[in-house]
Structure 1
Amino acid sequence: MRAGHDGLGQEASVQLTNHRSASVGLAVSAVLAVTACTRGGADTSPRSPSAKHAPAAASAPAATPITADAELAALEASSNARVGVYVRDTVTGRTVAWRSGERFPFASTIKAPLAGAVLERVSHADLSRVVRFDRADLVPHSPVTEQHVDDGMPLRDVLDAALRFSDNTAANLLFDEIGGPAGLDRALERLGDRLTDPRRIEPDLNTAVPGEVRDTTTPRALATTVGAYLLGDALPKDDRELLRTLMVTSTTGDGLIRAGVPDGWVVADKSGGAAYGVRNDVAIAYPPGRGPVLIAVMTRRGQADDAYDDAAVAGATRIAVAALG
């Protein structure tokens, strides 16, 4: 496994809040085929003969586009960042989209679909299986796995490390479980996601060079895929609950989507950060007394050493959720 900087060293651990939401019996909407909206709807990424395409929509509430273009354009200008947003109420179909079909580097948000794909592949008994690895396998930002080189870790704890602490070696161990990035790609295609394009493992997937398609996705694809694992029938109920619990108790996202939603909302999220000021968060948010809301906010800047901006992610979330009503 390859070493390097993963762009996530700025993600600070915070005090956990162990919220648990009620079980959700709603199937996620496969919304990637929604009619393109101004600036946010069309996938403007470079295309090749093998370029991926969005899946067709499944049965779901008809999308009702809600516009927040002026506010999101102002946020882009004030934060000096390109911002992609996709927010959808899974019950009403009300949707706020801004650059939602544009490609952004996914960075560590990919750990959420990766964990879902692993849970889809392994049995419940496999979660107790000890995963062994060597010191040579360690890559930067591995705060949990670096403590367990000698004794290994149960697969359940590897999932915990990858999702709650964004541990990069743990993510690479999960890649090993499903046959590397190509295995994840196959799992996502079976799920209906033909846009997310995993090519490399940690930390190389964080280079985020502008114009590259590899290791990118769109806000719409990312939110929909995470929703499929957390709300749909891709996983058994116990695995959905495990995945949701690990994401609700994540230690890396308090300044992102969680900071942009109203008080009382429970947020299951996975953050990411990389070069070129990439800062992302993907979540399923559970408002009190309402159905779940899919949220993905992806941001990037122009220079390789640009710092990322948590406030831009929180601000975009706040704008979109307010517009959603």
Structure 2
Amino acid sequence: MFNRLRRTRLNPLLRDLVRETRLDLDNFIYPLFVVEGEGVRNEIASMPGVFQLSIDEILKECYELKSLGIKSILLFGIPSLKDSVGSDALSDDGIIARTLRAIKAEFGSSLLVITDLCFCEYTDHGHCGILGESSVNNDATLEISAKQALIHAKNGADMIAPSGMMDGIIACLREALDKGGFENLPVMAYSTKFASAYYGPFRDVAQSAPSFGDRKSYQMDSANRFEAIRESLEDEAQGADILMVKPALAFLDIIRDIKERSLLPLCAYNVSGEYALLKAGAKLGVIDYEKVMMETLLGIKRAGADMIISYHAKEVAKIL
């Protein structure tokens, strides 16, 4: 006598009925990259289908996203002028502040706008904050991060997502937002962000490659499991509302580890390199692109992600 597990697989309707994990458009966040100018729509060679967009084109893109049923975006700013402290990120006339105002004037509360809070896109050296003698100066960067958070909040951000992996960043932003009257504005922590080679194409679109060295002194060592868990639990203790693991595919074990240790919602960032690899496989004709894409995203969800930031979101919307 043995169990016949195939009984619930033979009928396709029954397979649907017992399916444990599902992809839902409500759980997807689409990244957008805004640049200066008008009528700008620059496709990125390493990321087919992903564009740098001027503010007017961002609004058009948001209309398309809404028509597809995608309700959440993650906004990155790429200023025309960069300096050593990322001044554009600290100004109400900066690229993110102006884009936030334009999106909110057009869409109000019908679109959830999450802002990436970092300085790598805004600095001439490409690192994630103010430089010290040998690396980014953690505490000096916290000071300007608090200023940046208030700029985002005042101009309409629905949620702030600090990505620089500075120690104490969540507590710092929570204090600044609370004192500024934004105690109800949630913070999604890039709580476990690895110093990963999977970010290569992102640096093409965000123009954020470091001009020297790397980010291993502040982003996570890809080899470290327990430190990765500690990072996320520390951000939870400091007041994060949502945790995140980035990248996703090489770190599904970390997604599961954190999910088993925290009751906070967990986001996974399906990053540029993961997207580009599937696009390259499709171009070469070596994979069934749509099936592999959906299986990949399902795997991220099954590992424990409650929501997924993905460049595939529009394609998923069309399939679902």
Confirm or deny a common fold (TM above 0.5): no
Greater relative contact order: 1 or 2 (C-alpha under 8 angstroms, separation 6 or more)? 1
